[in-house]
Amino acid sequence: MTRRLVQNGVQYIIRLEMQRDGLPFREIVQLVDELGGDIIAWDLVRAEDQKTIRDLTVLMATAEQLQTLVAKFSGLEGVSVENVSDRTFLMHLGGKIEMRPRVHIKTRADLSHVYTPGVARVVEAIADDPAKAFQLTMKRNTVAIVSDGSAILGLGNRGPKAALPVMEGKAVLFKWLANVDAVPLCLDTQDVDEIVETVVRIAPGFGGVNLEDIAAPRCFEIEQRLSERLDIPVFHDDQHGTAVVILAGLINAAKVVGKSLESMRIVIAGIGAAGTATAELLLHMGVQDIVGYDRMGVIVAGQSYPGHPQWEQLAAMTNPYRRQGTLKELLIDADVFIGVSSGNLLRPEDIQGMAEKAILFLMANPIPEMEPEVAQLYAKVVATGRSDYPNQINNVLCFPGLFRGVLDARAMRVTVGMKVAAAHALASVVKDEELGPEYIIPSVFNREVSERMAKAVIQAAEKDNVARRIPKV
């Protein structure tokens, strides 16, 4: 397990000033190894007559171990520690995105076309026909990433400024994977009315809205109200992006275990944004037996859930046999467990009673509902939300390609049909001859994902009559 901890540690760069006749490299390695770390790189910065300056990049499991290592280095004769840098923080210095013009001004004539007086003609054209904003402005390729910072990753309510690094990272992924321009908009309010009104007022400059890291149940109302008021798609990625990727993984996992998706009995732990959307999408796919489970226990019709109106709605559509009991009892003979809840929720005895060739989606991150190595002893297919295990269920497999298709089709909204098409497109990237228990979902680095998904979304938008433009696919 030490190796697993190191793989999930943090990279640090330690700048060391050393006497030329100082410690040999093997002793540096020994100190790092004794503290359970790994050396990633050992780079010469500069050499002087009597000393050398080197950057040692190490991977350490905890900050405490790093501090101990630095103290040991500082105590060595002929060695001094000049600086310690966290590689993650270095990558964030100054932010991760910038804006660049698509046209360049070299002459007065260029200036007259880009700005006044020439731009006045474009203004009049859009005023006469607002749809031309898609052709003549950034709207055609730009998404607003909107967050209030109330549910950042697994860190909770940390506010809009703390949300900004995550939204910047998402903007990088949009551009890298699908050439979509995305603008982080972190709002200094967590009031539903204020969020809705703010987004409505900035919407003219965007072709779509990606809601991100907004806590449930507020996120449901915000998405619904914005979808009703705007003529561009509003997509809450924590809900629907997760659901699309889970569905894609289940489509392929069903093939691996030789069962039909519709016949499976599925238990979902964690009925927040992702759990609710996943249940709704699976119901649309024809799954008959879905049971939801949350902190208050089993979601079942007839019960009241103050503060969670979506649970009452979901209860009316799920748990057809009105099952009750503990999570362990619910999992008896279940085909699938989907966890979008909290780490270390399950024990081995909880899943031993599941159906033959069980499927476990352990999505809590960074600590899954149970250790995947243990889960693999009892289940046929195991997926997680982490990059260091097979079958990573990651939203980045969905939102870039989906929005590429949405923007190219100039869609008015995202339909269920578009989400299903996106899931099937994602699943299809894994060829039948490649399918196996440890490969049900493609890598986030597979560039075919976004292209194939965009085409499928465009076709579904046309079929559902929400496309304003039908590009060739």
- Distance CA(163)–CA(151), nearest Å, equals 9
164: helix, coil or strand?
helix
Q: How far apart are CA 446 and CA 429, in angstroms?
A: 9
Between the alpha carbon of residue 362 and those of residues 102, 281, 334, the distances in Å are 43, 18, 15
Tokens linked to 389: 């295990």
Return the closest-CA partner of residue 210 out of 447, 400, 416.
Answer: 400
Question: Tokens 């696919």 correspond to what residue?
Answer: 473
Diameter over CA atoms, the chain: 81
293 is catalytic: no
Place of tokens 């275990």: 257
Task: Count Cβ atoms below 10 Å from residue 439 Cβ, excluding itself.
Answer: 16
CA 76, chain centre distance (Å): 44
Residue 319 backbone phi and psi in degrees, to 5: 50, 60
Q: 265 and 336 in contact (C-beta within 8 Å)?
A: yes
Strand ordering across the sheet containing 181-186:
181-186, 142-147, 208-211, 234-236
Report whether the peptide linkage leading into residue 117 is cis, meaning its omega lies within 30 degrees of zero.
yes
Give the Cα separation of 412 and 208 in Å (integer). 9
Closest CA to 145 of 127, 166, 125, 131: 166
Annotated active-site residue in 12, 51, 139, 170: 170
- Residue 213 structure tokens: 């890291």
170 is catalytic: yes
Residues forming the active site: 115, 170
